[in-house]
Chains A and B, each alone.
Chain A
Amino acid sequence: MSTKSTMAERTKAGAEPGMIALVCIAAWLIPGAGHLMQRRTQKGLVFLIVLPLMFVIGLLLNGRLFPLEVSDPLVFLGAIANRGVGIPYVIARMLDLGAGLITAVTYEYGNTFLMTAGLLNFLVILDAYDIAAGRK
């Protein structure tokens, strides 16, 4: 008896589409929540700690949360990356953080931390999707 399964068989074992969508939305809003919902506790906790920590460090280093300006493609892409981290971004906006201090020596470091936190969370969302769809 073969223990290997085809992609189609593994996909069948995945969650319902509504549940997959819920996992993805939770994973976007709270980094690691998608993994925690699927009992991948160790991974979920790592993402829950590391990604918001990167975001906070970025703010402390005087990084900027970019506005959605379509006229400036690089700023626009930076804005998309910033929003990838979910609720921490919303909280920072509500507290008027992330104005950015361009004269600060750590300004570019701050931007890098802020954008990387969001981009890594996009990868985490995709991983949570794969788990929910039964591919992992």
Chain B
Amino acid sequence: MASHFLLLVLYALLVSVAFAALLRDDPRAQVRLGGMMLAAFVAFAYVVGWLMYPLPL
């Protein structure tokens, strides 16, 4: 499994679930926060990835 994007999504998913459980007590609030965090993680990484694309790294 070497898809960078899939690994990114998997990592973001697990971290979001852990933080949502840690920071919220109500299950509905956990789902809401976890979903927002997952979307933010993936969107931010995607945008930063494209911004870094032209850089000679």
- A residues at B contact (CB < 8 Å): 42-43, 46-47, 50-51, 53-54, 57, 61, 105-106, 109, 112-113, 116, 120, 123-124, 127
**B7, A50: Cβ atoms under 8 Å?**
no
**A50, B18: Cβ atoms under 8 Å?**
yes
Query: Which residues of B from 1 to 24 have beta carbons under 8 Å from A?
Result: 1-2, 4, 7, 10-11, 14-15, 17-19, 21-22
Leading 6 A-B pairs by shortest Cβ distance:
A46-B21, A43-B21, A120-B18, A109-B7, A50-B18, A105-B2
**A106, B17: Cβ atoms under 8 Å?**
no
- B residues at A contact (CB < 8 Å): 1-2, 4, 7, 10-11, 14-15, 17-19, 21-22, 27
Residue pairs across A and B with CB atoms within 8 Å: the count is: 39
Closest residue of chain B to A43 (Cβ to Cβ) is B21
The A contact surface, by secondary structure, is: helix
* Residue in contact with A57 in the complex, picked from B10, B21, B22, CB distance below 8 Å: B10
CA distance A116 to B15 in the complex (A): 8
CA distance A43 to B7 in the complex (A): 24
Q: How far is the CB of A39 from chain B (nearest CB, A)?
A: 13
Q: How far is the CB of A131 from chain B (nearest CB, A)?
A: 11
